[in-house]
Amino acid sequence: MARKQSLSGFPEHLPEERLVENYVLDTLRETFELHGFSSIETRSVETIDQLLRKGDIDKEVYAVSRLLDDAEDARSAAKKEKLALHFDLTVPFARYVVENAGYLNFPFMRYQIQKVWRGERPQEGRAREFTQADIDVVGDGALPFRYDVELALIIVESLSKLPIPDFKLRVNNRKLSEGFYRGIGLTDTAGVLRNIDKLEKIGPDAVAQLLKDELGATDEQAQAALSLASIRAEDTSFADQVRALGVSDELMEEGLVELTEVIGEAARRAPGKVIADLSIARGLDYYTGTVYETVLVGHEQLGSICSGGRYESLASNGKKTYPGVGLSIGVTRVVSRILSQGFATPTRKVPSAVLIALTNDEMWSGAQDLADQLRARGIACEVSATAAKFGKQIKYAEKRGIPFVWFISTNEDGSLKHEVKDIRTGEQGEASPENWMPPAEDLQVRIVPADSH
């Protein structure tokens, strides 16, 4: 966006941009609810302990403290209150599930659309304040694997409804990778995953070097790990490719079966959208099985627009464990790309379909009565605030893209005459306050995808 933002990393939209964002949010919400997901929100702050328990992101956390706790400095206040803004919605959700387990029905399917904060260096596609849209299912003690399949398909359906280019949901399974690494004798499987995660950024040679330098891998081990990571398939043929590498491990077999179930069903229900990609590692250490990432085709450098995975023990109170699986759509990242590339535009800048013009200032109250009649039929409308010249009132509508201007005048017999003008065509005709309706396509703002993508 050419428009200057006053605080880097904290994007704000103009009203017409917000219409696009709202369309994305509404589409996601509607899709999630059609699949039976319940809406929840968690508080924006967590205790710092809770946040730092999982994941390697302490340097990105924003601490929150009362500005004037006079007696002590802000840091000790922050320590006392121990509050920070959440950096994702998964960790807060896990805490919410444990706290409210007695009030929830399991398996619990929820969606959550909220802002999160990360103090990273801002760049395109990476903001410090941004919106995520998450779906997760958690079970009480156990959760059928089937949800790993179902959630991927719900995400495919959700993203398919958005005005974005083709996308690929890349899926891997941690059991498969970790079992394989173990099978070739690399026991620090987390270390291998962490380095494999850098493949797209630094390339295979640098990753091989890291595996040798940091983890003491042999050339053969490093090459085997890279061979695994190079496997990609739109169908279950990836399993044969893995087995062809000649490694045998029980955990790996478990992962192969799981990933085969995801890719098999996805290939049938959403061909070409979900692919096995054995390079996917995901940095966060709470994933234990399936892991997901999603890229926009032709916009891979934007990074993943939807990621997630299966976590067996993120939500636990020590006695009970609530395993879950979930994905998180980076709404701000998707919307900023839609806006910067012009993938879609709103049909007008404001909700109003009609501006009711004033012939004189005394008409205002009567015009509001008319407006109420229109609104009762779901027609968004405004009344001019002053009886400026009609040209000026029409220009008011034009600037905002309001398609219709309504004029009220008095017939010779003293009765009121109502006329509506389509200011795009200039066409004007009599209209009845009781039953006039705009054409269906003008009733509400629509978000129109651009032809060219």
Restricted to residues 128-147, the positions that interact with a copy of itself (CB under 8 A) are: 129, 144, 146-147
Contact between 191 and a copy of itself per CB under 8 A: no
Q: With b meaning 16 or more CB within 10 Å and e meaning fewer, what string describes 308-347? A: bbbbbebbeeeeebbbbbbbbbbbbbbbbbbbebebbbbe
Give the chain's end-to-end CA distance (angstroms, integer).
19
Asked if 40 interacts with a copy of itself (CB under 8 A), we say: yes
360 binds a copy of itself (CB under 8 A): no
211-230 residues near a copy of itself, rule: CB under 8 A: none
Q: Is 257 in the site for a copy of itself (CB under 8 A)?
A: no
The DSSP call for residue 284 is -
Identify which of 297, 48, 256, 25 has the alpha carbon closest to the alpha carbon of residue 134. 25
Q: Residues 27, 101, 119, 194: which binds a copy of itself (CB under 8 A)?
A: 119
Residue labelled with tokens 């209150």: 81
Does 441 help bind a copy of itself (rule: CB under 8 A)? no
Using the CB atoms, write b or e for 14-42: b if 16+ within 10 Å: eebbebbbebbbebbbebbeebebeebeb
Q: Does 117 bind a copy of itself (CB under 8 A)?
A: yes
Q: How far is the CB of 140 from a copy of itself (least distance, A)?
A: 12
Query: Residue 451 Cβ, how far from a copy of itself at the closest point, in Å?
Result: 25
One residue of 63, 164, 335, 394 binding a copy of itself per CB under 8 A: 63
Distances (CA, A) of 9 to 118, 125, 227: 9, 10, 38
With CB under 8 A as the contact rule, which of the stretches 41-49, 182-190, 231-239, 418-426 interacts with a copy of itself? 41-49
On whether the CB atoms of residues 305 and 166 are closer than 8 A, the answer is no
Spell out, one character per residue from 64 to 93, where the chain touches a copy of itself: x when CB under 8 A holds, - when not: xxxxx----xxx--x-----xx--------
Q: How far is the CB of 334 from a copy of itself (least distance, A)?
A: 16
Which H/E stretch holds residue 417?
strand 416-422
Q: Is 115 in the site for a copy of itself (CB under 8 A)?
A: yes
Give the separation between CA 206 and CA 66, rounded to whole angstroms: 45
> Does 172 help bind a copy of itself (rule: CB under 8 A)?
no
Residue 324 · residue 314 · CB < 8 Å: yes
- How many Cβ atoms are within 10 Å of 221's Cβ, its own excluded? 19
CA 414, distance to chain mean position in Å, is 57
Give me 404's structure tokens.
């219709």
Per CB under 8 A, contacts with a copy of itself among 265-284 are 265, 268-269
| Binding footprint of a copy of itself, residue count (CB under 8 A) | 85
**Using the rule CB under 8 A, is 18 a contact of a copy of itself?**
yes
The interface region with a copy of itself, picked from 282-290, 293-301, 376-384, 431-439 by CB under 8 A, is 376-384
- Enumerate residues 91-110 that contact a copy of itself by CB under 8 A: 95-96, 99-100, 103-105, 107, 109-110
113 binding a copy of itself? (CB under 8 A): no
Q: Does 232 bind a copy of itself (CB under 8 A)?
A: no
- The sign one gets for the Cα dihedral 256, 262, 268, 274 is negative
Q: Binding a copy of itself by CB under 8 A: which of 161, 243, 320, 399?
A: 399
Cα–Cα distance, 266 to 264 (Å, whole number): 6
